Amino acid sequence: MTTLVWLQREFRLDYFPALNEALNNNDDIILAYFHDPEKSIGAANRVWLAHALETLATDAAKRNGKLWMVSGHFADTFPKLLKDESINQVYYTFQVGEPFANMQQQALEACKTLHIRLKPFFSEFWLKPTDFSNQQNRPYLVFTPFYNGLLKQQNHIQPLARLAKATLTQTASKACPAHYQTLPDDLRQLKQQPWAQKIMAARQVGETPTWQILSDFITEKLQDYSNDRDFPAYHATSNLSTALHFGHIPTRQLYFELQALIQSDANIAPAARAWLRQLAWREFARHLLYWFPQTQTAPFQEKYLQMRWRDETDHDSKILIEKWQSGLTGIPIIDAGMRELWATGIMHNRVRMLVASFLTKNLNFHWLIGQHWFEETLLDADPANNVMGWQWVAGCGVDAAPYYRLFNPVVQSEKFDADGNYLKHWLPELSTLSKKAIHQPWKYESECVEKGIFLGKTYPHPIVNLDESRKAHMERVQIDKKNRTAG
């Protein structure tokens, strides 16, 4: 019996049910990742992917195992390998969103044609979506009831087992062609680019360092997590988002780690519960995309399909979008966030909300423009989280902020970066300004001049008047409301 364990974004060996079942069955195993350059999310994601594949290949080799890296069009390479290697069954971990959904459908069609068993595992969920619903047997659409439902059903959440065997010789029983043992060419080339090397500086990839990062976070930061997590200058979060996306550590096992903390340490329990609740948002996002896959490209609330967005194709709009992407909007907290993103591949979660609100509400550009930019530049770009986040801010998703609501970036900046430390780090050209001026330098032009800062040269003028754009947004809200009522 030969089993293909097909990897999508589960780059680990421990706590991996699909691999464990194949090992326990004493099957010959091909552990393979299929890389289709046309089915990748974005550049930053691919950079991490390159490192993750190399790390996993090394980890497997240390246990006398082998990782196959198959490159090409998935619709061609997947059935070819099934036939060439006489595969009897395929195990894989079910993933939500594109490009995974399309590949899973292609795998299903190939296995049907070749009469090969295809078995999905739902180990990346705490609870399988089809086994978890509200009292009306429908998917939860609001987070708080979803979370309360999880707590009521927590006895049904099953822990994952560690690697079943000390060695992985079963994954090396079949000869792996040499061209499947090296990193795909496009990933190797991307990894060598200066931008890729910059965003990966000091990053630790793979399951072993991820568990250490988790341990350090619990020891050093978890106690203050609830109080500090909203302040971008504090570095108070776990920094595990990319590792979670790439499956270096499964969120379900993280759930059990936190439950053990809650039970064993009364002092840390409140902080552990707070973090557990935040992790549950990831679970909520995955369930939503499972049930509503169309939301990756369309609003959950269909009444917002006719929202009047600014035309992004005209010359002026293209310039505005480029300034937003480049961190040159003239609004310091927005620019700091966008520059952090470009320099590191990461952005603080609260700042993500602010830059999203600015793009969709102040500038009136479609949320898909921002979603696509995040997909391209975030190391942790995750289909479910990205969709939920952008639709929440735009006001067209489930459990979303009201459509009319928009964040005031200056107020938010003053509240969550009062001393301007985050701004000073990412906007060094403004670092000499006072605590008041740095949040809105256009209101303190005399101080700017005294400090040698010239708006329009040293730092840009705001590309939009915040008060006027807020008023324009509210006017659009009223017009859209009337149009929906009339329609």
pLDDT band at 401 (very low <50, low <70, confident <90, very high): low
Rounded to an integer, the average pLDDT of 105-111 is 98
125, amino acid identity: F
Domains of the chain: 1-123 (3.40.50.620), 206-291 (1.25.40.80), 302-486 (1.10.579.10)
Measured CA to CA in angstroms, residue 7 lies from 17, 48, 93, 293, 343 at distances of 12, 15, 7, 21, 29
This prediction's pTM: 0.94
Total Cβ atoms within 10 A of residue 418 = 12
262, amino acid identity: I
Please state, in angstroms and rounded to a whole number, the distance separating the CA atoms of residues 144 and 337.
28
Q: Which residue has the higher pLDDT, 212 or 398?
A: 212
> Order of strands across the sheet with 89-93?
67-71, 28-35, 2-7, 89-93, 117-121
Please state, in angstroms and rounded to a whole number, the distance separating the CA atoms of residues 304 and 481.
10
pLDDT band at 487 (very low <50, low <70, confident <90, very high): low
pLDDT band at 486 (very low <50, low <70, confident <90, very high): low
Q: Which residue has the higher pLDDT, 173 or 56?
A: 56
Q: Which pair of structure tokens corresponds to residue 50?
A: 């390159």
pLDDT at 480 over 90: no
pLDDT at 114 over 80: yes
**pLDDT score for 485:** 64
Would you say 423 and 333 are in contact if contact means Cβ atoms under 8 Å apart? yes
Please state, in angstroms and rounded to a whole number, the distance separating the CA atoms of residues 56 and 52.
6
Query: Exposed/middle/buried for 432, CB within 10 Å: 0-12, 13-18, 19+?
Result: middle
Rounded to an integer, the average pLDDT of 30-37 is 97
Please state, in angstroms and rounded to a whole number, the distance separating the CA atoms of residues 3 and 27.
6
**pLDDT score for 155:** 94
pLDDT > 70 in the chain, percent: 98
Please state, in angstroms and rounded to a whole number, the distance separating the CA atoms of residues 241 and 255.
14
Rounded to an integer, the average pLDDT of 339-344 is 98
Would you say 330 and 442 are in contact if contact means Cβ atoms under 8 Å apart? yes
**pLDDT score for 395:** 87
